[in-house]
Chain A
Amino acid sequence: MSTPLLQLEGVHTHIGQYHILQGVDLAVPRGALTVLLGRNGAGKTTTLRTIMGLWKPSKGRVAFDGREIGGLQTPDIALSGISYVPETMSVFSDLTVAENLRLAARHGPPDQARLDWIFGFFPALQKFWQFPAGVLSGGQKQMLSVARAVIEPRTLILIDEPTKGLAPAIIESMIHAFQELKRSNTTILLVEQNFRFAQALGDTVAVMDDGRIVHNGTMAELTADTALQTRLLGLSLGEHQ
């Protein structure tokens, strides 16, 4: 196998007095979609934030495309080709939907064909194009937040629960959209509780518990093994559905 696009080795992160990441080893293979699973508080969001430089690792290495990014500032990490969609539906409320997307496009105005593709799975963004993002509903803000990450081709997208607050029909069309992103060779690290979404898109799976990676494998293997699901996630996914 070729070298992973993103590799974390022995990463520790402290937030105030709390020792959240306690030696994370994670390899994200190039061109694949890796799902990061685990219970609430396991450290999934902190892992994404540490990769983005929003928390500084207190120990360990973060390598992106063969280059150490562990000590870099967040804007430099973003400019190196990583997009991050946080879980918080953060948008610039006073800017229009159009302006929010224009700001996210780092290489000039957004490409119209790319915008049409986005409007295909998030029609609401076209409808509210010239409205301030503050008037959007919670789910529509979530759509805008995801759209900003895919407005241009990126090497790596880190995405924290993109389906949160979205209607079932929108989640279905997002699955198609993400399949196309994968075909375009975008590497994705996804934190997701909606297992149908994760299963439809995931190639590899890493499971976290107490600030460490406790399992690495393929999505197919986890889907097939109920006992493994119960051991790793506290519940079998059949029960959940």
Chain B
Amino acid sequence: MSAPVLETRDLTIRFGGHVAVDAVSCAFGAGTLTAIVGPNGAGKTTYFNLMSGQLPASSGTVHLDGEDITRLSAAARTRRGIGRAFQITNLFPNLSVAENVRLAVQAKSPNAANLWSRWTTHGEWINRAEHFLEEVALADKRHLSAAALPHGDKRKLEVALMMALEPHVFMFDEPTAGMSIDEVPVILDLIRKLKAAGDSTILLVEHKMDVVRSLADRIIVLHNGKLVADGDPATVIASPVVQEAYLGAPATSQAPVMP
């Protein structure tokens, strides 16, 4: 692999006595899509939070393009190109769909801080926002307030916001959760397109194994905060740790009997 774009070294976070992410070392290269799987509570979202800066590491480091970014804020990491879509959506609920995306475009624009920027710039922002709305198939809902969107559309809007910030690292946390079956292909095609462009580093937390199989070049498995498997999808899915800890029913739940 060429030099990694994003890398964690012994990355760890403790909440009280609980080690949620435990000395995870892993590197992610450009043009690759890595799926992160594991049981609920394994530390997948927390690992994302440590990389994107939503949580401070207890120890260990995060590197972006060779530079140690462990002490940078989430906002600073976003400016350096880490894009993040959340498991629970984060939007401006009272603004319209189009305004939400336009704000993200504006944040990325070199003229963003200039109060005297001309209206033509404003027009460009709107056109650019429109482009991202079309990418996620939300253009026909541009005038609705974000709060009025059904859940699946909120997820699509959040992906549009992330794309509008033009990151080179994309972190998707269960992007298809809550989407109806006819919408899932829209998001999967979008991720495929990002991947095909070849210069993005894509990380995906996903429980749907058919989605993982169809998108990922590589799977890493977290279990109790530790990295327990790393490899190509076929090998990792077939491994005993995934079959037992993740895909199979846990031993304690063999046909629990209701009283």
Contacts and interface: CB of A to CB of B under 8 A. Distances in A.
A37 B184 CA distance: 15
Interface in B25-72: 38-42, 44-46
Contacts of A113: 259
Interface string A38-51: 11111001000000
Contact of A123 (B45, B177, B245, B252): B252
Interface range, A side: 35 or more
Contacts, number: 132
Interface centre among A121, A138, A142 (most CB of B within 10 A): A138
A113 B258 CA distance: 8
Interface centre among B88, B149, B256 (most CB of A within 10 A): B256
A140 B150 contact: no
A38 B45 CA distance: 29
The DSSP consensus for interface residues of chain B is: loop
Contact of A164 (B178, B181, B255): B178
B258 A45 contact: no
B151 A40 contact: yes
Contacts of A164: 177-178
A120 interface: yes
Interface stretch (A5-13, A22-30, A56-64, A174-182): A174-182
B174 A241 contact: no
B198 interface: no
Nearest to B151: A87
B236 to A, nearest CB: 14
B249 interface: yes
Interface centre among A142, A161, A164, A234 (most CB of B within 10 A): A164
Contact of A124 (B40, B87, B150, B258): B40
B99 interface: no
A241 B151 contact: no
Contacts of B248: 169, 172
A128 to B, nearest CB: 8
Contact of B38 (A140, A167, A181, A240): A167
Contacts of B257: 117, 120, 180
Contacts of A54: none
Contacts of A177: 256, 258
A119 B257 CA distance: 11
Contacts of B259: 111, 113-114, 116-117
Interface centre among A38, A170, A183, A233 (most CB of B within 10 A): A170
B250 interface: yes
Contact of B41 (A38, A114, A124, A195): A124
Interface in A67-93: 87, 89
Interface of A: 15-16, 18, 38-42, 45, 87, 89, 111, 113-114, 116-117, 119-121, 123-124, 135-140, 142-143, 161, 164-170, 172-173, 176-177, 180-181, 183-184, 193, 195, 233-235, 237, 240-241
28 contacts: A18-B148, A39-B180, A40-B150, A40-B152, A41-B153, A89-B88, A116-B256, A117-B256, A117-B259, A120-B257, A123-B250, A124-B40, A137-B41, A139-B40, A164-B178, A167-B38, A170-B250, A173-B249, A176-B253, A183-B258, A193-B178, A193-B180, A193-B181, A195-B181, A234-B182, A237-B181, A240-B181, A241-B210
- 10 A-B pairs with the lowest CB-CB distances in the bound complex, closest first: A120-B256, A139-B40, A234-B182, A113-B259, A40-B152, A173-B253, A180-B258, A41-B150, A137-B41, A40-B180
